[in-house]
Amino acid sequence: MKRVCSLVVVLLMFGIQVFAQNTHTVTGKVLDESGLGYPGAGITLKGTHIGTVTDINGDFLLDVPDGTGNILVVQAIGYNTKEVKETEQTMTIRLQTKARELEGAVVTAQAIKREKRELGYGSTTLNSDDLTSGSGTSALSDLEGKVAGANITSSTGGPGGSTRVILRGEKSIIKDNNALIVVDGVITNNYDRTKSDQLEQVDFGNSGNDLDPEEIESVTVLNGASGSVLYGAAGANGVILYTTKAGKHRETNSKKPTKIDITFKTTYTQSDILKYADLQNSYGQGNIYDGIANDRRENFSWGEPFDGQLRPWGQVIDGKSLVKPYSAQPDNIKSFFNHGQDLNNFVSLSGGNETSTYFLSINSMNSSGVIPSTFYNKYSIRFNGTTQLSNNFYSAINVNYINSYSRAEAGGQNSGSVLDNLYETARDIPIWELNNYNNPFYSMSFNDQNGIERYGYYGAYYKNPYWVANNYDNRNRTDRMIGDVKLGYKKGEFDVFDRVGVDVTSDRSTYKTPAINSQPVDPFYTGDNFTNAGGLSQVNYAGLRLYNDLIANWKHELSNNFGINVLAGHNMTVQNDASLIATIDPGTNGLVIPNYYYFTNNTGPITVTNPITQARRFGVYSDITLNYQREIYLDLTGRNDWSSTLQQDHNSYFYPGASGSWVFTERLKGNFKDKVLNFGKIRAGASGVGNDAVPYANNTHGYYQGAISSAFGSIVPPFNNQPAYQIASTLGYPGLKPEQTHDYEVGTDLSFLRDRISVSFTYYSSITKNLITNVPVAPSSGFLSQYENIGDISNKGEELTIRGTPISTKWGLKWDLFGTYTHNLSNVVSLTNGLSEVSLGGYSGMDIVAAVGHPFGTFYANDIQYWNGHPVVSATTGLPIATTNPVYLGSYQPKFQASWGTDLSYKGLKLHLLFTTKQGGEFYSRNKMDMDFNGTSTETTVNSRNPYVWANSVYQVGATTNYLKNTTPFSPYQYYTNTEANLPAQGLVNASYVKLQEATLSYRIPQKYYKNTVFGSLEAGIFGNNLLLWTAKSNKYDDPSETSAGATGNGQGFNFTAAPSLRNYGGFLKVTF
Contacts with another protein in 440-479 (CB under 8 A)?
Answer: 461
CA 1012 to chain centre: 44
Q: Which of residues 486-505 bind another protein (CB under 8 A)?
A: 494
Q: Does 192 bind another protein (CB under 8 A)?
A: no
Q: Does 943 bind another protein (CB under 8 A)?
A: no
Q: Does 638 bind another protein (CB under 8 A)?
A: no
**Closer by beta carbon to another protein, 123 or else 575:** 575
CA dist., res. 388 & res. 86, Å (int): 22
Q: Does 682 bind another protein (CB under 8 A)?
A: no
Question: Of the listed pieces 310-318, 636-644, 658-666, 863-871, which binds another protein according to CB under 8 A?
Answer: 636-644
- Give the number of other CB atoms < 10 A from CB of residue 1033: 8
Least distance from C-beta 596 to another protein, angstroms? Answer: 17
Q: Does 959 bind another protein (CB under 8 A)?
A: no
Question: Which residues are within 8 A (CB) of 995 and not within 5 positions of it... i.e. 6 or more apart?
Answer: 915, 916, 917, 1026, 1027, 1028, 1029, 1030
Least distance from C-beta 4 to another protein, angstroms? Answer: 5
Residue 255's φ and ψ, nearest 5 degrees, are -95, -10
- Give the number of other CB atoms < 10 A from CB of residue 1022: 14
- Give the number of other CB atoms < 10 A from CB of residue 660: 19
Among 481, 542, 580, 724, binds another protein (CB under 8 A): 724
**Closer by beta carbon to another protein, 15 or else 656:** 15
Q: Does 710 bind another protein (CB under 8 A)?
A: yes
**Closer by beta carbon to another protein, 97 or else 982:** 982
Question: Of the listed pieces 215-223, 264-272, 520-528, 819-827, which binds another protein according to CB under 8 A?
Answer: 520-528
Q: Which of residues 93-112 bind another protein (CB under 8 A)?
A: none
Q: Does 837 bind another protein (CB under 8 A)?
A: yes
CA dist., res. 657 & res. 643, Å (int): 20
Among 436, 603, 629, 946, binds another protein (CB under 8 A): 603
CA dist., res. 200 & res. 202, Å (int): 7
Q: Which of residues 742-801 bind another protein (CB under 8 A)?
A: 776-784, 786
Q: How is residue 836 annotated by DSSP?
A: -
Q: Does 643 bind another protein (CB under 8 A)?
A: yes
**Closer by beta carbon to another protein, 125 or else 637:** 637
CA dist., res. 103 & res. 800, Å (int): 17
Question: Which residues are within 8 A (CB) of 998 and not within 5 positions of it... i.e. 6 or more apart?
Answer: 133, 134, 136, 145, 901, 912, 913, 914, 1023, 1024, 1025, 1027
**Closer by beta carbon to another protein, 7 or else 957:** 7
Q: DSSP H helical segments within 350-397, as ranges?
A: none
Least distance from C-beta 690 to another protein, angstroms? Answer: 15
Least distance from C-beta 309 to another protein, angstroms? Answer: 23
CA dist., res. 116 & res. 121, Å (int): 10
CA 551 to chain centre: 30
- CA end-to-end span of the chain: 49
Question: Of the listed pieces 54-62, 145-153, 466-474, 531-539, which binds another protein according to CB under 8 A?
Answer: 531-539
**Closer by beta carbon to another protein, 395 or else 519:** 519
Q: Which of residues 971-1030 bind another protein (CB under 8 A)?
A: 978, 982
Least distance from C-beta 958 to another protein, angstroms? Answer: 13
Q: Does 594 bind another protein (CB under 8 A)?
A: no
**Closer by beta carbon to another protein, 12 or else 322:** 12
Among 25, 607, 765, 808, binds another protein (CB under 8 A): 607
Q: Does 845 bind another protein (CB under 8 A)?
A: yes
- The DSSP secondary structure of 464-523, one letter per residue, reads -HHHHHHHSEEEEEEEEEEEEEEEEEEETTEEEEEEEEEEEEEEEEEEEE--EEEEESSG
Q: Which of residues 384-443 bind another protein (CB under 8 A)?
A: 413-415
CA dist., res. 173 & res. 66, Å (int): 54
**Closer by beta carbon to another protein, 713 or else 806:** 713
User: Cβ distance 863 to 883 under 8 Å?
Assistant: yes
Q: DSSP H helical segments within 72-140, as ranges?
A: 128-131
Among 34, 729, 765, 830, binds another protein (CB under 8 A): 729
Among 22, 92, 506, 705, binds another protein (CB under 8 A): 705
Question: Of the listed pieces 31-39, 617-625, 682-690, 1025-1033, which binds another protein according to CB under 8 A?
Answer: 617-625
Question: Of the listed pieces 146-154, 366-374, 525-533, 823-831, which binds another protein according to CB under 8 A?
Answer: 525-533
User: Cβ distance 170 to 793 under 8 Å?
Assistant: yes
Q: Does 719 bind another protein (CB under 8 A)?
A: yes
User: Cβ distance 707 to 715 under 8 Å?
Assistant: yes
- Give the number of other CB atoms < 10 A from CB of residue 396: 20
Least distance from C-beta 612 to another protein, angstroms? Answer: 5
- Beta strands at 909-919 and 652-662: parallel, antiparallel or unpaired: unpaired
Positive or negative, the Cα torsion across 191, 195, 201, 205?
A: negative
Q: Cα–Cα–Cα angle for 418, 422, 423, nearest 5°?
A: 120
Question: Of the listed pieces 137-145, 169-177, 259-267, 528-536, which binds another protein according to CB under 8 A?
Answer: 528-536
Q: Does 968 bind another protein (CB under 8 A)?
A: no
Among 711, 951, 959, 1014, binds another protein (CB under 8 A): 711
Among 447, 836, 944, 1034, binds another protein (CB under 8 A): 836
Question: Of the listed pieces 187-195, 356-364, 370-378, 708-716, which binds another protein according to CB under 8 A?
Answer: 708-716
For another protein, how many residues bind (rule: CB under 8 A)?
A: 118
Positive or negative, the Cα torsion across 904, 910, 915, 916?
A: positive
Among 418, 552, 898, 999, binds another protein (CB under 8 A): 552
CA dist., res. 627 & res. 659, Å (int): 12
Least distance from C-beta 535 to another protein, angstroms? Answer: 8
Q: Does 217 bind another protein (CB under 8 A)?
A: no
**Closer by beta carbon to another protein, 142 or else 930:** 930
Q: Does 481 bind another protein (CB under 8 A)?
A: no
Least distance from C-beta 701 to another protein, angstroms? Answer: 6
Q: Does 1 bind another protein (CB under 8 A)?
A: yes
CA dist., res. 425 & res. 458, Å (int): 10
Among 124, 127, 344, 588, binds another protein (CB under 8 A): 588
Q: Does 727 bind another protein (CB under 8 A)?
A: yes
Among 587, 656, 806, 853, binds another protein (CB under 8 A): 587
Q: Which of residues 282-301 bind another protein (CB under 8 A)?
A: 290-292
Q: Which of residues 553-572 bind another protein (CB under 8 A)?
A: 554, 568, 570, 572
User: Cβ distance 799 to 223 under 8 Å?
Assistant: yes
Q: Does 529 bind another protein (CB under 8 A)?
A: yes
CA dist., res. 246 & res. 357, Å (int): 7
Q: Does 709 bind another protein (CB under 8 A)?
A: yes
Q: Cα–Cα–Cα angle for 204, 207, 213, nearest 5°?
A: 105
**Closer by beta carbon to another protein, 393 or else 896:** 393
Amino acid identity of residue 116, one-letter, is: K
**Closer by beta carbon to another protein, 32 or else 932:** 932
Cis status, amide bond into 972, omega within 30 of 0: no
Q: Does 833 bind another protein (CB under 8 A)?
A: yes
User: Cβ distance 690 to 650 under 8 Å?
Assistant: no
- Partners of 1034 in beta bridges: none
